[in-house]
Amino acid sequence: MTYHHIKVNALSPAVGAEISGVDLTRPLEPAVLAEIRQAFLAHGVVFFHDQPMSFEDQRRLAEYFGELHIHVGGKGTASKTLEGYPEVRKQHFDRNSKRVSGEVWHTDQSCSKVPPMASILHQHLVPPDGGGDTLFAGMYAAYEALSDKMKAYLEGLTATHDGALIFDKGGEDEYPVASHPIVTVHPETGRRVLFVNRGQTAYINEVSRAESRAILAYLFDHIEQPEWQMRFHWRNHSVAFWDNRCTQHRAIWDYWPNVRSGYRMQIKGVEAPRAPQA
Ligand code: SIN
């Protein structure tokens, strides 16, 4: 892939690339934006360093790609909606935190009917001694590595995603629940994706609960293999922009009692995840 306006450095074969030569605190030229989109679609998650963005800068970047998604459910979650900014989740963790956001492998908000297509996390303060990395996994590669027999078995099956699995109990009475195909097709690249995650996928709808448990256990283990993962090490004012339609991630809480503090915005999905056409 050729880039003329930005520098793109792939971080693993399956997922992740760092982009440099861009200032996200200023409006972006169409040609630069087109190349960021190209890298985002090719790598599933792109990272930028040294970007001291304001909320307005972060919102402008998000809105180049679509409307903002407002987080559904999860009043009892570790992250909180920022007062006065309904589109911003504050992800601040310190010595008083009982848990942090995203410690289990997940796709953001897969429990919503139309999950957000992407998330943009600006980490403005990271722990002083390392720690607080995020793992990302590429779901094209995870799908492609399944056996042909398993691919055939999964085709046409759907799964229920339930927010109650990931959100704290006691925060509210009702949690978002949605069904999605287990194999989806990315609406922009046309590639097949394995679309279940340990954090929110409760069961496969078309088989017995015993069969569902066994198959999901296999798929979660498969998805979490290192071959399609990478580990991102944040700096103060790093930004990660990930595609929820083809990646999963997991935040590592190894920095207590230090502080890690960031703000996340999400971009609306324009359609529900759909199954490939036969
Ligand atoms: C999340 O948005 O799921 C958390 C990611 C992170 O804090 O690294």
- 91 C-beta closer than 6 A to ligand 1: yes
What separation in Å is there between the alpha carbon of 102 and the centre of ligand 1? 5
Among 66, 119, 112, which Cα is nearest to 89's? 119
Q: State whether the beta carbon of 101 lies less than 6 angstroms from ligand 1.
A: yes
Q: Dump pLDDT digits (tens) for 214-237.
A: 999 999 999 999 999 999 999 999
Mutate to test the pocket of ligand 1, among 90, 91, 166, 248 (most ligand atoms within 8 A of CB): 91
E-strand ranges in the chain read 7-10, 17-20, 45-48, 68-69, 80-82, 85-93, 118-125, 134-138, 158-162, 177-181, 183-185, 192-194, 201-204, 229-232, 238-243, 247-251, 260-267
Which pair of tokens denotes residue 63? 């809105």
What atom of ligand 1 comes closest to residue 132's alpha carbon? 8
pLDDT of 170 strictly over 80 = no
Question: Closest Cα to residue 154, out of 201, 206, 225, 112?
Answer: 206
What's the CATH class of domain 7-267?
alpha beta
The residues that are catalytic are 106, 108, 249, 264
**Rounded CA gap, 174 and 172, in Å?**
6
pLDDT at residue 168 is higher than 70: no
101-125 tens-digit pLDDT: 899 999 999 999 999 999 999 999 9
Has residue 78 got a pLDDT over 70?
A: no
pLDDT (average), residues 159-187: 84
Kindly give the distance from the C-alpha atom of residue 161 to the centroid of ligand 1, in angstroms, as a whole number.
19
Q: CB of 102 closer than 6 A to ligand 1? A: yes
pTM for the whole structure: 0.95
> Is residue 138 in contact with ligand 1, taking CB distance under 6 Å?
no
